[in-house]
């Protein structure tokens, strides 16, 4: 089955620790995205990548970092600089980011809690 997988489903972090959230897709999509979801605030874009070895900041990139070394993988690191990291994190992918109307496909999400 083609799709997007995120791991882990639940993640607990102590203050001051960096954690990395995994996102893998086998849809052969060029573009990948990371969103943060908080109650009542919708989905806010953290980072997105249109192609391997390239990525751009979204609206709330501070305290986060990403890499795109392989087309199918787009891990997100939540650093200790992120002041309020407790949230539901969603990874998505689409065929590309420009030149057509592209559906975004979402993974099942990772719920991060800071203890």
Partner 1 sequence: QQQVKQSPQSLIVQKGGISIINCAYENTAFDYFPWYQQFPGKGPALLIAIRPDVSEKKEGRFTISFNKSAKQFSLHIMDSQPGDSATYFCAASTYNQGGKLIFGQGTELSVKP
Residues contributing to the site for partner 1 (CB under 8 A): 4, 31, 33, 40-45, 48, 90, 92, 94-109
- Cis ω on the peptide bond leading into residue 79 (within 30° of 0)? no
State which residue, 52 or 80, has the beta carbon closest to partner 1: 52
Q: Which two tokens stand for residue 34?
A: 């990371």
State which residue, 60 or 79, has the beta carbon closest to partner 1: 60
Q: Which two tokens stand for residue 80?
A: 């200790």
State which residue, 2 or 101, has the beta carbon closest to partner 1: 101
State which residue, 13 or 44, has the beta carbon closest to partner 1: 44
Rounded to a whole number of angstroms, the minimum distance from the CB of residue 15 to partner 1 is 25
- What residues are paired with 65 via a beta bridge? 77
Half-sphere exposure of 10 (CA within 13 A, CB side): 2
d(CA 64, CA 56): 12
Q: Which two tokens stand for residue 110?
A: 């990772």
Q: Give the contacts of 104 (CB within 8 A, at least 6 positions apart).
A: 33, 92, 93, 94
């Amino acid at each position: 089955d083609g799709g997007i997988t995120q791991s882990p489903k639940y993640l607990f972090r102590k203050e001051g620790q960096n954690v990395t959230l995994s996102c893998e897709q086998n849809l052969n999509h060029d573009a990948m995205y990371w969103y943060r979801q908080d109650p009542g605030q919708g989905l806010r874009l953290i980072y997105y990548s249109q192609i391997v070895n390239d990525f751009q900041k979204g609206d709330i990139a501070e305290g986060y970092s990403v890499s795109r070394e392989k087309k199918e993988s787009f891990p997100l690191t939540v650093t200790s600089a992120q002041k309020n990291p407790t949230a539901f994190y969603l990874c998505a992918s689409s065929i590309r980011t420009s030149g057509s109307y592209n559906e975004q496909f979402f993974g099942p999400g990772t719920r991060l809690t800071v203890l």
